[in-house]
A and B are shown apart, each in its own frame.
Chain A
Amino acid sequence: MSGKTVVRPYGDTTGDGMVQVSFTLPVPHDKRGEGAALQLAGKMGLDPAMLVHARAMGDGFTFFVVYGRVGHLVDLAAVRVAERDYPLLTAKDVNGAVRRRLRRKLSVVGACIGTDAHTVGIDAILNVKGVAGQKGLEYYRELRVLNLGAQVTVPELVEAARAERADAVLVSQVVTQRDAHLHNVREMSAAFREAFPASRRPLLVVGGPRFDEMMAAELGVDRIFGRGTTPGEVASYLVHALTARRAAA
């Protein structure tokens, strides 16, 4: 990068600061409505603001498109982004990486443990249907997925992981009454530690809306995923963690 660390939006001339925004206001389309749109644009920092399009939608809503100049400066030196410790891969790249580096299918076993019957989370990550437009792990050709469903006991899970030669075990916990999710996960990680030598233990991954992602070590698992996690993130993590582990072994 060049030495320049301060930039402005670019319309057609360096430094012109031009942006385009669109929004809807719950007002009828008339002069007053257009004035309201310009007021909002002004408060958003557009000066001057040009209202280029307004269109009534149904009763009492109007859609606006506004172009204008913003005075704000962007300081590139002050940009801070949360660094993910693994690269986000496409399904194709995940499949490619598994083929290349593991040279066999990556085996995943998933379940809701304890009395938790909420399979929404594990299904969103594993089922082909997926979530938010992303396919679940079943969709990945190089992943072999077994979803045990709800109310699986820890011994059943350990047994399934052994039978499937699981590389990773995914556990979803939604119910948090009396910290059931934390107890269940501790019991699960202890059982896997007992049943497998450290070098052969599957990767333990836990997900649910109420987990603190920083508690992995405390709960004895390799990774915790919180609310809004997508299948692509989980798949990318699995490839990263499992191939790194293999390289270290």
Chain B
Amino acid sequence: MGKLGLDPVTVARARALAAEAGRPVVELARSHTTVSVERAVLRLAGVAGADPDGIPWVNRLVDAVVADVGLGHGVALPVFDALLREGVDDVTLLAQKAAAGSVRFAVPDGRFRTAARRSADRHVRAGLRRIDRRRAERDRLVARCGDAPRRPWIYLIVATGDIFEDIPQAQAAARAGADVIAVIRSTGQSLLDYVPEGATREGFAGTYATQENFRLMRAALDETSAQLGRYVRLTNYASGLCMPEMAVLAGLERLDMMLNDSMYGILFRDINPVRTFVDQRFSRQVHARAGIVINTGEDNYLTTADAVEAAHTVTVSQLLNEYFAHEAGLADWQLGLGHAFEVDPDLPESFRLELAHALLARELFPDAPLKWMPPTRHMTGDVFRGNLLDGFFNLVGAMTGQGILLVGMMTEAVVTPWLSDRDIALQNVRYVLGAAGGLHEDFVPAPGGFIQRRADQVLREAVGLLERIASGSLLDAIGDGTFGIMRRPADRGKGLDGVAAHEPGYYNPAAHLLEVS
């Protein structure tokens, strides 16, 4: 029995309702495809690089196939049928020919279908094997270098816009104690319907996520990991319009964690809900295979909605994210479910409310490495008060056994963190974890006291909301503005034109291989 005395019947009911609400969405995802899913398949099959204008060959190839036969059959069969007919061996070369207009695509049948399917499977299986090798390599490196010395893992952000500035900053952050480095993406990348190519030096408030940037940063952190005797993890974003491709690139370049939320793009980026759910399921299957820990984005709801009034929407979203993650094959240790310290500090008992909410997440998901996010909304620019608030945030993290702790900056909402800001923030974390890191062993809320009652209330409100969602549909709930107060109808939003229902005979070798594994 846990510390909150949660009613097991209510907890089971919450999970059953989340599954009931999520199931139709999974069905939707299984019966549709998107341009980004198909591009991800081609990346697994070995298509790489971009044309002289910087448009990736996967985009050119998918566009060419769609122009000839549409999207609903999947691109794998038309592409590999053409590959066999043209007698080329290299899929990237085929993409180049297709872009020049010298290849016609058709949906093969009979023995041509069998041959195309066999060739597609062989290419995609080779890509999945590369991902498997990177996963095994991670396990080897963690065994050889050693792992982070304690939980929570300390998670720090770099965001200069220039990968060659990011690298020394990330290495310095790792030496200063960071266990996880996240490279923030350039503003607006989530709405690009292609993945930029190559090493990049110009981003807006962040650095473009590209395969080459992933490779450069991972190589630099491998070097630092060996020096420190501690494997330093790397994080990026599988979100936005290219979510499935980002997952594949992360797997190929041995990234360790990816931000990957089931609803963030819909709510905060106005990406079409169907597009997001289809892309998300495929990306999670890839993450499962690659041994990547996902980080979900529930903290974002509390930056728009009130952290006390909307506490139960965080729980509901965590339960949905858990359902979607399990369904896609992710194990509990891969679920960095998000939540945040965003209760108004001027509210009486705000700290006890935070403890109740954080402990509720801990107890509902005992085997998940929860991701605990620092205050942002009530950081005012008063850096002294901000540092105090971050200390209390760290204390809740220690008292409730959080798995991943994003280091809060006292200069949140003032500047992108300075070297000294990061140093002061890490001192704060080290002091709290050093002084109170084991406090979760002693900390047991009084039975029937404030914290237990609050946790029970949030759980019951979550069940109430899940009942409402499950009685209609999740897509309608999103359309009605249930989460983060945003209304996002299923027939609106960005990227809808890149979605297609499966035609009879649709084939996706990656989905097939990931599904049976």
- Which of B268, B418, B419, B424 is close to A129, meaning CB atoms less than 8 Å apart? B268
Question: Do the beta carbons of B419 and A61 come within 8 Å of each other?
Answer: yes
A119 within 8 A of B: yes
Question: Do the beta carbons of B423 and A124 come within 8 Å of each other?
Answer: no
Interface positions, chain A 30-60, Cβ under 8 Å from B, are: 55, 57-59
Given contacts A119-B188, A123-B191, A149-B494, contact A57 B485 (CB under 8 A): no
Residue of B nearest to A136 (CB): B268
Total B residues in contact with A, Cβ cutoff 8 Å: 25
Residue of A nearest to B381 (CB): A133
Question: Do the beta carbons of B423 and A63 come within 8 Å of each other?
Answer: yes
Give complex CA distance A149, B495 in Å. 11
Given contacts A120-B187, A123-B188, A128-B484, contact A22 B420 (CB under 8 A): yes
Residue of B nearest to A146 (CB): B492
Total A residues in contact with B, Cβ cutoff 8 Å: 25
Give complex CA distance A138, B493 in Å. 14
Give complex CA distance A132, B413 in Å. 7
Give complex CA distance A93, B450 in Å. 33
Question: Do the beta carbons of B420 and A24 come within 8 Å of each other?
Answer: yes
Q: B residues bordering A, Cβ < 8 Å? A: 172, 175-176, 187-188, 191, 204, 267-270, 303-304, 376, 412-413, 418-420, 423-424, 484-486, 494
- Which of A120, A124, A139 is close to B304, meaning CB atoms less than 8 Å apart? A139
Please indicate the chain B residues that have their CB under 8 angstroms from the CB of A128 in the complex: 267-268, 304, 484, 486
Given contacts A22-B420, A127-B268, A128-B304, contact A58 B175 (CB under 8 A): yes
Q: A residues bordering B, Cβ < 8 Å? A: 22-24, 55, 57-59, 61, 63, 119-120, 123-124, 127-129, 131-133, 135, 138-139, 141, 147, 149
Give complex CA distance A138, B175 in Å. 41
Please indicate the chain A residues that have their CB under 8 angstroms from the CB of B485 in the complex: 139, 141
Give complex CA distance A215, B204 in Å. 27
Give complex CA distance A135, B413 in Å. 12
Most buried by A among B176, B268, B424: B268
**Extra 15 A-B pairs, beta carbons < 8 Å, given A124-B187, A127-B270:** A23-B420, A57-B419, A57-B420, A58-B172, A58-B419, A58-B423, A63-B419, A128-B267, A128-B268, A128-B304, A129-B269, A132-B413, A133-B413, A135-B303, A149-B494
Min Cβ gap A163→B in Å is: 14
Give complex CA distance A2, B172 in Å. 52
Residue of B nearest to A23 (CB): B420
Given contacts A128-B267, A129-B269, contact A120 B303 (CB under 8 A): no
Question: Do the beta carbons of A127 and B269 come within 8 Å of each other?
Answer: yes
